[in-house]
Structure 1
């Protein structure tokens, strides 16, 4: 057939037709028909963009994120799952105040890919925007503070926030609180960033918008301590021919640090002044043997003025 002129023309026509179909993605469309059922992937936790009049309305009930099930061409589905180059929209711009069940739409899909949003709809409530100012309370209980410390002060900056929401939610607000993100035991002064939330009388978190959403919380703690008296006892004897006239400590009281239970049992600290073999007056350092359970004392060392005289012969 190729030896004839008509045979060559027929082959050329087939080649031209093949090139035309390839250039117009006809083969991809045919393949897509087979893959539409077989190829499916899920894109998790895509953010939802809500379109409405943010100046005068407040929308509650819409989820912040949804999952999107993709169907279609293998390469495009895989690409979208990786790039997440999709936009999930809930368009409420033509809605008046009230409650609605609205469908999500997905934007950014190629022609050979379809999508299904999970869940398919959202039950939303569109209310008139209400704005009020509230003082922020910080959730810092004594149980968060270490056993050897006491809570001295909690400072919040800023002290007030602006809360925006629908009237039904705003009327339920009983507490506006800053919750610390770090839940570790507090044993020293620290500064934390805390998320601000609004709650009703049952401490249910309310669906409102807060500005700013986070505040600075400065927490000051002090070590738990107690002032106790100091007594002494003399250990040893001065040298023969000498007499001990007096011992005077430089502190009558000291401060001891520990837990509330330990400190409650301590009223006095006794120290030992060693004078063995001494022949002259001197000032000596005296160590403090702190009781079990006490972390430390201030001062950590005392001084004893020891007065010694020679015996009159």
Structure 2
């Protein structure tokens, strides 16, 4: 036996047998009627469909835009089952459209859809087999962005100013014929109503044609910052002092002066429309001499703020001369002395004194809502020799906005005058709006 195994022919026969067994195992088909007999047969031919295969597009992306190519196709494969299963499961083949020819002509073309990296023993059918594509020159153009929002979401009594967008312009890249159809470039702000304060949002930019269809283009930047200033309506009304009570016996009201004569009210428009004047009641039953009183303003319901929180009322009286008692004569003499003293005091009004502000945070800007133009009238009183030497530059009207952030704020006015005189301002508060300064400013 050992001698037989050592012979060359024995080794050749064993090697041939092993090769035959290996061939049979590879090509074995259990469905074959010959399999049970031990005969090897050719591999069975089958068909598989691979759906939604991505289509790769090869072209000069720096200078051209190609549209119309399908994103996916279905690939039908026919061949040996073992090869089909491998191709279907691994998807190691590529489906593509080749438009990389540098001399390719522009316009609409029908081009074949090809496949690579597929076993040669498989028969391939691609559906669709061809694609109708449009090859256009790629161009970039700058457009101005139009911000927009739904104004119906504003809370009753509030108004919106024109939205502010940053950056104001964007670059849009696409096929030349598509770029030429752009009619609108919009950034729509998404709001959840009701809205009663300034809105800061980021918004997606869309390029639209004249029928408001969205266009397939590249927008840079695709997102912009939008600010929608929301303000409460205002109305300027006169201040009307209303006398309450009856003057004392022998006292006659000569005149009534109020300062300021007008105030700005802020609130719902429907409320403002119903207000023609602001009445300020004051009691005259205890007045014996010319009197100056400060009265807080009582705002109507629905009015959230006013340009002044209080008004100054000066009531001038005169006393009747009939049946004067000694005490009345003494009082009259005191009044006359006061009048003489008052004659020595004079007043002077300076119009449109600019209001300066201090403490504004870096990167923010301030605008005056009221008083408009950021200026107010200042009245000073004192001796004539002191008043005559005072100029507008000697007066300082200011507000302190330290620590205030974005939004509307009501802040008190501060007046500095030379020590020899007294001063008063037509309004004692200012309504301001603080916003972030744009990079351009």
TM-score class, shorter? 0.5 to 0.7
Q: Contact 1:51–1:90 (CA<8 Å) still a contact in 2? A: no
Q: Contact 2:150–2:191 (CA<8 Å) still a contact in 1? A: no
Which consecutive unaligned segments of at least 5 residues does structure 1 have? 1-46, 66-71, 78-88, 106-121
Q: Contact 1:148–1:257 (CA<8 Å) still a contact in 2? A: no
Identify the residue that residue 26 of structure 1 maps to in structure 2: none
Identify the residue that residue 139 of structure 2 maps to in structure 1: 130
1: distance between equivalents of 2:240 and 2:306? Answer: 15
- Picking from 270, 283, 286, the partner of 1:277 is 286
Task: Tell me: CA distance 1:94–1:48, structure 2 relative to 1, closer, same or farther (3 Å).
Answer: closer
Output the TM-score relative to the length of structure 1: 0.60
1: distance between equivalents of 2:199 and 2:255? Answer: 48
Identify the residue that residue 63 of structure 2 maps to in structure 1: 56
Deviates more, 1:233-242 or 1:195-204: 233-242
Q: How do 1:231-310 residues align onto structure 2 when only pairs under 5 Å count?
A: 231-310=240-319
**1:224 deviation in Å?**
0.9
**1:208 deviation in Å?**
0.8
- Alignment pair present for 1:179 and 2:198: no
Which consecutive unaligned segments of at least 5 residues does structure 2 have? 1-53, 73-84, 116-130, 325-441
- Alignment pair present for 1:148 and 2:157: yes
**1:234 deviation in Å?**
0.6
Q: Deviations over 1:260-294 (max 9, x none)?
A: 33323322222211223233333223243444443
**1:216 deviation in Å?**
2.6
Identify the residue that residue 29 of structure 1 maps to in structure 2: none
Q: Contact 1:52–1:91 (CA<8 Å) still a contact in 2? A: no
**1:231 deviation in Å?**
1.7
Task: Tell me: CA distance 1:293–1:63, structure 2 relative to 1, closer, same or farther (3 Å).
Answer: farther
Task: Tell me: CA distance 1:192–1:48, structure 2 relative to 1, closer, same or farther (3 Å).
Answer: farther
Task: Tell me: CA distance 1:214–1:269, structure 2 relative to 1, closer, same or farther (3 Å).
Answer: same
Task: Tell me: CA distance 1:299–1:61, structure 2 relative to 1, closer, same or farther (3 Å).
Answer: farther
1: distance between equivalents of 2:216 and 2:136? Answer: 12
SS at match of 1:192: strand
Task: Tell me: CA distance 1:193–1:127, structure 2 relative to 1, closer, same or farther (3 Å).
Answer: same
SS at match of 2:289: coil
2: distance between equivalents of 1:49 and 1:311? Answer: 106
Q: Deviations over 1:200-246 (max 9, x none)?
A: 11111111111111223233343211112222221112344544333
Q: Contact 2:58–2:99 (CA<8 Å) still a contact in 1? A: no
Q: Contact 2:165–2:225 (CA<8 Å) still a contact in 1? A: yes
- Picking from 157, 169, 172, the partner of 1:160 is 169
Q: Contact 1:188–1:220 (CA<8 Å) still a contact in 2? A: yes
Q: Deviations over 1:143-175 (max 9, x none)?
A: 354433333343332222211112342232111
Q: Contact 2:240–2:280 (CA<8 Å) still a contact in 1? A: yes
- Alignment pair present for 1:196 and 2:194: no
Identify the residue that residue 206 of structure 1 maps to in structure 2: 215
2: distance between equivalents of 1:134 and 1:189? Answer: 26
Q: Contact 2:153–2:191 (CA<8 Å) still a contact in 1? A: no
Q: Deviations over 1:54-110 (max 9, x none)?
A: 202224468999xxxxxx9xxxx9xxxxxxxxxxx985554666577999x9xxxxx
Output the TM-score relative to the length of structure 2: 0.44
1: distance between equivalents of 2:67 and 2:228? Answer: 34
Task: Tell me: CA distance 1:266–1:174, structure 2 relative to 1, closer, same or farther (3 Å).
Answer: same
2: distance between equivalents of 1:311 and 1:222? Answer: 53
Task: Tell me: CA distance 1:59–1:241, structure 2 relative to 1, closer, same or farther (3 Å).
Answer: same
SS at match of 2:304: strand
1: distance between equivalents of 2:55 and 2:220? Answer: 20
Q: Contact 2:232–2:268 (CA<8 Å) still a contact in 1? A: no
Task: Tell me: CA distance 1:48–1:161, structure 2 relative to 1, closer, same or farther (3 Å).
Answer: farther
